[in-house]
Copies of this chain bind each other. A is one copy, B any other.
Amino acid sequence: MSQPVLIDGAWRPADAVSTFQATNPRTKETLPDEYPISSWKDCETALAAAERAAAVMRTVEPEAIALFLETYADLIEENKDALVQMAHAETGLPVSPRLADGELPRTTGQLRQAAAAAREGSWRQTTIDSKANIRSYLDGIGPVCVFGPNNFPFAFGSISGGDFAAAIAAGNPVIAKANSSHPGVTRLFAEIAQTAAEKTGMPAGIVQLLYRLGHADGERLVADPRVGATGYTGSRSAGLALKAAADKAGKPIYLELSSVNPVVILPGALAERGAAIADEFTGSCLMGAGQFCTNPGMVVLIEGVGSEQLVTALTEKFDAAPAGTLLSAAVERSLGDSLGKLLKAGATSLTSLATGAGQGFSHTNALLQITGEQFLADPETMQTEAFGNASLLVMASSVEQAAAILGHLEGNLTGCIYSATTGEDDNAYALLEPPLRQRVGRLLNDKMPTGVAVSDAMNHGGPYPATGHPGYTAVGLPAAMVRFGMLQCYDNVRPARLPRWLRDKNPTGSAWRRIDGTWSQGDVS
Which positions in A face B, CB cutoff 8 Å? 55, 58, 122, 125, 127-129, 132, 134-136, 138, 141-142, 243-244, 247-252, 411, 414, 429, 433-434, 437-438, 441-447, 453, 455-459, 461, 463-465, 468-473, 476, 479, 482-483, 485-494, 497, 512, 514, 517, 519
Q: Report chain B residues within 8 Å CB of A489.
A: 441-443, 457-459, 473
Q: Which of A455, A493, A519 has the most CB of B within 10 A?
A: A455
A497 is contacted by which of B122, B442, B445 (Cβ under 8 Å)?
A: B445
Pairwise interchain contact B470-A486, C-beta atoms closer than 8 A: yes
Pairwise interchain contact B493-A482, C-beta atoms closer than 8 A: no
13 A-B pairs whose Cβ atoms sit less than 8 Å apart in the complex: A127-B479, A129-B457, A129-B458, A132-B455, A134-B455, A138-B471, A142-B438, A443-B490, A447-B492, A458-B489, A470-B486, A471-B482, A473-B487
| Seed contacts A250-B463, A445-B491; 15 additional CB < 8 Å A-B pairs | A58-B434, A136-B457, A138-B471, A141-B470, A141-B471, A244-B247, A252-B471, A441-B489, A442-B491, A444-B493, A459-B488, A459-B489, A471-B485, A473-B487, A512-B519
Q: Report chain B residues within 8 Å CB of A497.
A: 429, 433, 445
A69–B473 Cα distance when bound, in Å, is: 30
Query: Which B-chain residue is minimally distant from A455 (CB atoms)?
Result: B129
A445–B459 Cα distance when bound, in Å, is: 39
Q: Report chain B residues within 8 Å CB of A125.
A: 479
Pairwise interchain contact B443-A491, C-beta atoms closer than 8 A: yes
Pairwise interchain contact B243-A457, C-beta atoms closer than 8 A: no
Query: Least Cβ distance of A257 to chain B in Å?
Result: 9
If A445-B493, A469-B252, A471-B485 touch, whether A456 touches B127 (CB-CB below 8 Å) is: yes
Pairwise interchain contact B472-A487, C-beta atoms closer than 8 A: yes
Q: Report chain B residues within 8 Å CB of A488.
A: 437, 441, 443, 459
Query: Least Cβ distance of A277 to chain B in Å?
Result: 14
Query: Which B-chain residue is minimally distant from A502 (CB atoms)?
Result: B457
Q: Report chain B residues within 8 Å CB of A468.
A: 250
A453 is contacted by which of B132, B465, B469, B490 (Cβ under 8 Å)?
A: B132
Q: Report chain B residues within 8 Å CB of A129.
A: 453, 455-458
Pairwise interchain contact B486-A453, C-beta atoms closer than 8 A: no
Query: Least Cβ distance of A31 to chain B in Å?
Result: 37
Pairwise interchain contact B457-A128, C-beta atoms closer than 8 A: yes
A457 is contacted by which of B135, B142, B465, B473 (Cβ under 8 Å)?
A: B135
Query: Which B-chain residue is minimally distant from A492 (CB atoms)?
Result: B447
Q: Report chain B residues within 8 Å CB of A437.
A: 58, 488
A492 is contacted by which of B446, B470, B483 (Cβ under 8 Å)?
A: B446
Q: Report chain B residues within 8 Å CB of A128.
A: 457
Pairwise interchain contact B514-A487, C-beta atoms closer than 8 A: no
5 tightest Cβ-Cβ pairs between the two chains A and B: A250-B464, A459-B489, A470-B486, A247-B247, A129-B457
Pairwise interchain contact B463-A486, C-beta atoms closer than 8 A: yes
Query: Which B-chain residue is minimally distant from A414 (CB atoms)?
Result: B491
Pairwise interchain contact A487-B512, C-beta atoms closer than 8 A: no
A487 is contacted by which of B447, B461, B517 (Cβ under 8 Å)?
A: B461
Query: Which B-chain residue is minimally distant from A434 (CB atoms)?
Result: B55
A305–B251 Cα distance when bound, in Å, is: 41
A458–B55 Cα distance when bound, in Å, is: 24
A514 is contacted by which of B445, B456, B470, B490 (Cβ under 8 Å)?
A: B456
Query: Least Cβ distance of A413 to chain B in Å?
Result: 10
